[in-house]
């Protein structure tokens, strides 16, 4: 049984994660766990074994990037909704409401401050790269497709529409496929993402999510340093991490500028006679290239995270780290406990696999109670 570190009989699994409402989700190649702190201080745990997604074509470079992104969105959506359900239960208990009453408020007081756009953006910004996994169950498809739709709107439609507006307002008369137009579009991508993150950081519930994001980074860094998973060790770590989803978002914007500047000149010229139709046509031409951009960005981020974390080349990570200062905040010890608990449960399930009973939802009165649980004791 694990004590928070993998046993000698197994190789160290690759860990990814995500911050959620009052909690943290962690995932390994064959396990998944999300731990949420309830208002009474107890820990609500959802965990299960997963199917390793690193098989066949899914292990190929570039293909694995798209697979990882889709799975991150799917698992992130489930984890966020699980955490929102716990917030709803606390709200019902505090307000003395009948669970059947006021159905319009059911499902997420916490998610209400986000909306579909914010939900997708926070999920992507706080999700850290891990090994692609596949659920052993059906999962919720709707949340994944919603987040993909929002991602397309965020990274393609909205910036291009903003660039078209500037082009028309200033009378630049730039073709939508020109390098200058694509550079303006890329600048709007960064501005939209950074501006929105700065805005929602002012929301108390979201700032707490960003604190849990910092706790998640500190916990994973402790694990990767092969140190004991304790609050004392995690507290000393930085809230920055090279494999952060925030860095991925920044790199996507930068890579997309280069890709669309290149392909814009290579694609058939668009001259419909209408600026609106030209933009719509080029938007549709861009869509098939989005998986390519995600795949290329994934491989670049993996390369940077492996070889550029020390020395002078670390400078290439600074743009992502700067934006991470928005999406992470220094956590308190109670938040570190939640992140550590999530990783410990994930590592336990990684070792045990499908052989032991799976408890989808388990409550522990405290962090110490979770550590003292028989199934998490060292043999």
Torsion of CA 47, 51, 52, 53, to 10 degrees: -110
Helix, coil or strand: residue 269: coil
Give the residue, 335 or 147, on which the prediction is more confident: 335
Question: How many other C-beta atoms lie within 10 A of the C-beta of residue 112?
Answer: 13
Strand partners, 17: 26, 128
What tokens appear for 250 in the block?
């920044």
- Structure confidence at residue 12 as a pLDDT band (50, 70, 90): confident
What's the confidence (pLDDT) of residue 337?
97
Residue pair 238/272 in contact (Cβ under 8 Å)? The answer is no
Question: Distance between CA atoms of 221 and 235, rounded to whole angstroms?
Answer: 10
Task: Please tell me whether the overall predicted TM-score, pTM, comes out greater than 0.75 for this model.
Answer: yes
What's the confidence (pLDDT) of residue 186?
86
What's the confidence (pLDDT) of residue 140?
52
**Span 212-221, pLDDT tens digits:** 999 999 999 9
**Span 309-331, pLDDT tens digits:** 776 767 778 888 999 999 999 99
Angle between helix 115-126 and helix 179-200 axes, rounded to 10 deg? 90
**Span 229-274, pLDDT tens digits:** 999 999 999 999 988 888 888 888 888 888 888 887 777 777 777 7
202-241 b/e (C-beta count within 10 Å ≥ 16 → b): eeebbebbbbbbbbbbbbbbbbeeebebebebbeebebbb
**Span 188-210, pLDDT tens digits:** 988 988 888 898 888 888 899 99
Nearest CA among 131, 197, 145, 177 for reference residue 284: 177
Residue pair 323/246 in contact (Cβ under 8 Å)? The answer is yes
**Span 271-313, pLDDT tens digits:** 777 778 888 888 888 888 888 888 888 888 888 877 777 767 6
14-53 b/e (C-beta count within 10 Å ≥ 16 → b): ebbbbbbbbbbbbbbbbbbbbbbbbeeebbbbbbebbebb
């Amino acid at each position: 049984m694990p004590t928070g570190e993998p046993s000698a009989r197994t190789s160290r699994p690759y860990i990814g994660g995500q911050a959620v409402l009052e909690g943290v989700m962690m995932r390994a190649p064959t396990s998944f766990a999300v731990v949420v702190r309830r208002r009474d201080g107890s820990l609500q745990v959802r965990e299960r074994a997963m199917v390793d997604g690193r098989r066949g074509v899914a292990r190929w470079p570039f293909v694995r990037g798209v697979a990882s992104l889709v799975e991150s969105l799917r698992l992130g959506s489930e984890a966020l909704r699980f955490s929102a359900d716990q917030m709803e239960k606390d709200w019902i208990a505090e307000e003395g409401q009948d669970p059947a009453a006021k159905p319009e408020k059911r499902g997420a007081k916490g998610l209400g401050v986000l909306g579909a756009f914010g939900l997708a953006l926070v999920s992507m910004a706080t999700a850290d790269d891990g090994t692609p996994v596949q659920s052993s169950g059906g999962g919720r498809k709707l949340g994944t497709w919603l987040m993909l739709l929002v991602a397309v709107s965020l990274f393609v439609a909205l910036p291009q529409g903003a660039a078209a507006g500037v082009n028309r307002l200033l009378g630049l008369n730039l073709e939508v496929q020109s390098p200058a137009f694509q550079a303006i579009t890329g600048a709007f991508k960064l501005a939209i993402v950074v501006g929105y993150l700065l805005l929602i950081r002012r929301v108390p519930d979201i700032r707490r999510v960003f604190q849990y994001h910092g706790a998640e980074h500190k916990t994973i860094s402790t694990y990767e340093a092969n140190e004991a998973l304790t609050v004392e060790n995690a507290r000393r770590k930085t809230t920055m991490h090279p494999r952060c989803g925030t860095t991925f978002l920044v790199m996507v914007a930068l890579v997309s500028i280069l890709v669309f500047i290149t392909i814009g000149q290579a694609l058939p010229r668009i001259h419909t006679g209408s600026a609106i139709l030209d933009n719509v046509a080029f938007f549709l031409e861009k869509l098939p290239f989005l998986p390519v951009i995600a795949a290329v960005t994934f491989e670049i981020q993996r390369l940077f995270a492996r070889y550029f974390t020390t020395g002078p080349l670390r400078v290439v990570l600074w743009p992502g780290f700067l934006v991470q200062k928005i999406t992470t905040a220094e956590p308190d010890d109670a938040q570190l406990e939640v992140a550590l608990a999530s990783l410990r449960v994930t590592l336990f399930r990684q070792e045990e696999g499908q052989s032991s009973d799976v408890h989808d939802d388990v409550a522990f009165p405290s962090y110490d109670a979770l550590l003292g649980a028989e199934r998490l004791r060292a043999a």
